[in-house]
Copies of this chain bind each other. A is one copy, B any other.
Amino acid sequence: MAGIDPSLVRSLPLFQKLNEDELKNLLSRAMLRRVPVGEAVFEQGQPATQFFLLLHGRLKVTQVTADGQQIIVRVVHPGDIFGFAKALQRTDYPGTPTAAAESLVICWPTESWDILIEQIPHLAVNAMQTIGQRLQEAHTRLREMATEEVEPRLAHAVLRLIKQAGKKESAGIRIDFPISRQDLAEMTGTTLHTVSRILSAWEAQGLVIGGRRKLLVCDTAALGVIAEKSSASK
């Protein structure tokens, strides 16, 4: 039951430096779980009983405000750990990770966190770097939200997705999981209407090719120019 094949995770950077025994120990405490499209791994506000690693698929982490508005805080990619509230000194989960595509996650009970950190100090360093990178991304997005208008912001968001989940195709680079205009709106702090308008404009210029929950970027360089376009340029 708790026997997860080490080969499943061996290639992940997080585990690269662990030896066979350490890895076995780690996996012996874990469970595998399949998450179908549209289902949440856990819900915002629930007590944090487990922490996770995404093996396969794609999760969008949302937070809802008191009045029901939703934003996408980040996207979880294969190899990312998530839901480790313990490290954030929380007892409940701060957001809801929903499967945008069929996903496969490894789960550990929260109690294992301290033990694992103790036994595998490298894990702590790694986890800290992970959080550090997320903090940086959050600050970057914060700066974008504060200083940029919608179009450059959207361009930045798309370029980030391309970097994190880009898949080369003949006509360009595709965002390799289903993503709606609404999703993009919730990532950039705007409305799906505005996203739709901008994407239409980009498509007319041949920068991207859209589709129902699909996006293919043809001209990354041009998007980069739009992303850096300052509002002072008028």
Contact pick for A88, options B73, B88, B133, CB 8 Å: B133
Measured in the bound complex, the distance between the Cα atoms of B89 and A191 in whole Å is 34
Q: Cα distance A76–B76 when bound, in Å? A: 29
A63 sits at the interface (CB 8 A)? yes
- A89 surroundings in chain B (CB, below 8 A): 129, 132-133
Question: Contact: A128 with B129, CB < 8 Å?
Answer: no
- Could you mark each residue 55-82 of chain A with 1 if its beta carbon is under 8 Å from any beta carbon of chain B, else 0? 0000000010111010101000000000
Q: How far is the CA of A63 from the CA of B117 in the complex (A)?
A: 33
Q: Identify the A interface with B (CB < 8 A).
A: 63, 65-67, 69, 71, 73, 87-90, 94-95, 117-118, 121, 124-125, 127-129, 131-136, 138-139, 141-143, 145-147, 186, 188-189, 228, 230, 232
9 pairs of A and B residues whose beta carbons are closest in the complex: A146-B189, A88-B132, A138-B138, A67-B230, A145-B145, A69-B147, A89-B129, A71-B146, A135-B135
